[in-house]
Amino acid sequence: MAGESPSRPVGILRRSPRTLSHSDSFEAVQTILEYRFRDSGLLESALTHASVASHRLASNERLEFLGDAILGLVICEELYARFPKFLEGELTRFKSVVVSRETCGHVAERLGLVEHLNLGKGIMESPSLPASLAACAYEAIVGAMYLDGGLEEARRFILAHMNEEIDRVMAGEHQLNYKSLLQQHAQHDIGATPSYELLDEKGPDHAKAFEVAVVIRGRRYPSTWGPNKKAAEQRAAMEALRVLGRLEEDTTPVDQEQNGE
């Protein structure tokens, strides 16, 4: 799963106390999904967090793993069909935002799935939850729907709510935000958070230039210069993404100030 984008804060979620019975909660979720499960055990597993499961295999972790792959497939196919002139690097960039943890968590929260998660007592009593729980539940439900109803049912559910996110990306809310994309890639594929080192600065106070490099797990990537620290960090993130093979070589740098980073 891709990591968070800073455009929406998703560190914690506020969760109301659960008021529905187990059966009523199941009905509510199926109404939200506009889908009735043939195998109710799959829905049970999708909504069960490891903190309350009798063992890890009884939690939603395996379904989350499967759902992540199904989500990626459906979104890749949709982007490929909708944007025939996009290069591989552009498709990769947009896909990473659309399937990010932040996006999945946002969709799950918007649908109200968080209220129906089966959680351990310690988490249940907390007034706030890690937003990753919502994202994981969303992916687990995608996996459960795939197993229960096949790819077409999973695709219908995914696109019913993710097309809005695709449109949001195309409208420019996330477009070419290299720091966000690098963070998503680094956290998901490398298991580390990028840091930015200021290496040098030159020029008079009114026209300074700054040299910045990205460091991930002790590896320093090519440094870049920018007219301010934010722009330099943005360009350094872009260079790191290129080295990591996540961008095309002809990608044009973005003015960081326009992205509100």
Domain that holds residue 209: 178-259
- Shared domain for 221 and 251, answered yes or no, is yes
Ranges of residues in the chain with a pLDDT under 70 are 1-23, 50-58, 119-131, 171-176, 247-261
- Shared domain for 143 and 199, answered yes or no, is no
Provide the residue type at 242 as one letter.
R
In a domain, 5, yes or no: no
In a domain, 87, yes or no: yes
The catalytically annotated residue of 64, 102, 109, 139 is 139
What CATH number is associated with residue 246?
A: 3.30.160.20
Judge contact between 48 and 55, C-beta under 8 A: no
At 124, phi and psi to the nearest 5? -60, -35
253: which DSSP letter? Answer: P
Give one DSSP letter per residue of 2-63, joined into a string. B---TTS--SEEE-PPP-S-HHHHHHHHHHHHT---SSHHHHHHHTB-TTTSSSGGGSSHHH
> Residue 3: its pLDDT value, please?
40
Domain boundary, last residue among 138, 170, 202: 170
In a domain, 7, yes or no: no
> Residue 129: its pLDDT value, please?
61
The residues pairing with 211 across neighbouring beta strands, listed in sequence order, are 200, 225
Burial (CB count <10 Å: 0-12, 13-18, 19+), residue 210: buried
Domain boundary, last residue among 119, 136, 170: 170
The reply to whether 68 belongs to the active site is yes
- Shared domain for 159 and 30, answered yes or no, is yes
In a domain, 224, yes or no: yes
Give one DSSP letter per residue of 116-159, joined into a string. G-B--HHHHTSSEEEHHHHHHHHHHHHHHHHHHH-HHHHHHHHH
At 167, phi and psi to the nearest 5? -65, -35
> Residue 194: its pLDDT value, please?
95
- Shared domain for 165 and 191, answered yes or no, is no
- Shared domain for 52 and 156, answered yes or no, is yes
* Residue 182 to residues 53, 66, 94, 174, Cα–Cα distance (Å): 34, 24, 13, 13
Give one DSSP letter per residue of 180-232, joined into a string. HHHHHHIIIIISS--EEEEEEEES-GGG-EEEEEEEETTEEPPPEEESSHHHH
Say which residues have a Cβ less than 8 Å from residue 178's Cβ, sequence separation at least 6: 234, 235, 237, 238, 241, 254
> Residue 131: its pLDDT value, please?
66
At 214, phi and psi to the nearest 5? -90, 140
In a domain, 132, yes or no: yes
- Shared domain for 166 and 250, answered yes or no, is no
What CATH number is associated with residue 102?
A: 1.10.1520.10
> Residue 8: its pLDDT value, please?
40
> Residue 9: its pLDDT value, please?
37
The token duo for 243 is 């080295």
Judge contact between 177 and 237, C-beta under 8 A: no
Q: Is the pTM of this model over 0.75?
A: no
Domain boundary, last residue among 170, 190, 214: 170
The catalytically annotated residue of 64, 68, 78, 165 is 68
In a domain, 3, yes or no: no
